[in-house]
């Protein structure tokens, strides 16, 4: 393809993308203008006030840190909990899918534990883990009274995040592995592949799209869980904490800014992972 043609193609691609986004903007615009023009009883602050908060994300707010800091704290908590969920959940789900015996052994406990909301476990986990944070776990006690991200990573909080994330990972992985078509396994077997080789080169790649779907669900759940958890006792940082604190101080401009950030990050998570997963989800198309 010539350079000109290529450039033209890129441009039309871009235009198509933008055009496909436009219809989705109609309703948000309507809502925003409603807010802007009919906010006379001033239940809500003016949009401009919220915008001011958002435009200065590194300013200390309500003396509990900046938007940046608190968003970062929440994100790192989620990332940690999620990593644990993925690192434990993937092999467990994989074994549950691959071995009937292991599934029978574990299914009752996972079925019981799954519907238990992570939030319901928060008080218990605070009792068990107290307010132990990564500072103590890593033996860095001299950092305990300085402002430090490690102080904000409470074990109890990470625990319930891992709890929230692990079940989607386990279940989707299990379904993925169980759903691998039998012919692939049989073909591998008669062609001389051993158990471990089949695990690695047949079961795993064949169930990757499902495994990835599990990760996506886990990210979404963790993001919901962390916001709720931060609104409860046990921490005084994070975007959820900020949300609740601004409510207590009736600072609705800060509150709306927090809500906006939470929504946008949720969107970025799900859309970003969707794009990343498209490469793997292509596998699905290949089977057709």
Residues that bind another protein (CB under 8 A): 183-184, 186-194, 197, 201-202, 205-206, 208, 283, 285-288
Nearer to another protein, 65 or 209 (CB): 209
Report in angstroms how near the CB of residue 282 gets to another protein at its nearest.
Answer: 9
Nearer to another protein, 60 or 186 (CB): 186
Report in angstroms how near the CB of residue 101 gets to another protein at its nearest.
Answer: 20
Report in angstroms how near the CB of residue 20 gets to another protein at its nearest.
Answer: 26
Are 226 and 72 spatial neighbours (Cβ–Cβ below 8 Å)?
no
HSE-up (13 A, CA, CB side) for residue 237: 24
Nearer to another protein, 44 or 188 (CB): 188
Nearer to another protein, 206 or 218 (CB): 206
Report in angstroms how near the CB of residue 90 gets to another protein at its nearest.
Answer: 18
**Helices marked H in the chain:** 3-37, 47-55, 67-98, 100-113, 122-129, 134-137, 149-152, 155-178, 182-190, 195-198, 204-231, 239-248, 252-287
| The pair of three-digit structure tokens given for residue 218, joined into one six-digit string | 């886990």
Are 73 and 238 spatial neighbours (Cβ–Cβ below 8 Å)?
yes
Nearer to another protein, 21 or 190 (CB): 190
Report in angstroms how near the CB of residue 285 gets to another protein at its nearest.
Answer: 7
| The pair of three-digit structure tokens given for residue 277, joined into one six-digit string | 């997963």
Residue 82 three-state SS: helix
Nearer to another protein, 98 or 243 (CB): 98
Nearer to another protein, 82 or 206 (CB): 206
Report in angstroms how near the CB of residue 183 gets to another protein at its nearest.
Answer: 4
Report in angstroms how near the CB of residue 192 gets to another protein at its nearest.
Answer: 5
Nearest to 174 by CA among 249, 106, 260, 236: 106
Long-range contacts of 242-251 (CB under 8 A, 24+ apart): 242/61, 242/62, 242/64, 242/65, 242/67, 242/70, 245/62, 245/64, 246/61, 246/62, 249/62, 251/61, 251/62
């Amino acid at each position: 393809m010539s350079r000109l043609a290529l450039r033209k193609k890129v441009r039309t691609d871009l235009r198509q993308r933008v055009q496909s986004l436009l219809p989705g903007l109609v309703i948000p615009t309507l809502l925003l203008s409603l807010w802007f023009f009919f906010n006379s009883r001033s239940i809500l602050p003016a949009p401009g006030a919220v915008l001011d908060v958002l435009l200065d994300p590194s300013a200390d707010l309500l003396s509990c840190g900046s938007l940046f800091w608190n968003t970062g704290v929440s994100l790192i908590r989620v990332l940690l909990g999620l990593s644990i969920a993925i690192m434990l959940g993937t092999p467990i789900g994989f074994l549950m899918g691959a071995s009937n015996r292991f599934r029978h052994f574990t299914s009752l406990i996972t079925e019981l534990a799954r519907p238990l909301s992570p939030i319901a476990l928060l008080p218990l986990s605070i009792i068990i883990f107290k307010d132990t944070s990564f500072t103590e776990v890593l033996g860095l006690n001299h950092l305990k009274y300085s402002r430090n991200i490690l102080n904000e990573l409470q074990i109890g909080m990470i625990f319930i995040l891992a709890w929230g994330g692990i079940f989607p990972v386990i279940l989707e992985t299990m379904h993925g592995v169980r759903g691998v078509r039998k012919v692939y396994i049989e073909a591998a077997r008669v062609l001389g592949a051993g158990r471990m080789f089949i695990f690695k080169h047949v079961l795993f790649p064949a169930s990757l799209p499902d495994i990835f779907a599990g990760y996506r669900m886990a990210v979404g759940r963790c993001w919901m869980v962390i916001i709720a958890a931060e609104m409860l006792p046990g921490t005084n940082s994070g975007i959820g904490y900020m949300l609740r604190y601004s409510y207590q101080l009736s600072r609705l401009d800060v509150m709306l800014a927090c809500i906006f950030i939470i929504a946008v990050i949720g969107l970025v998570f799900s859309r970003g992972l969707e794009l990343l997963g498209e490469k793997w989800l292509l596998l699905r198309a290949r089977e057709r």
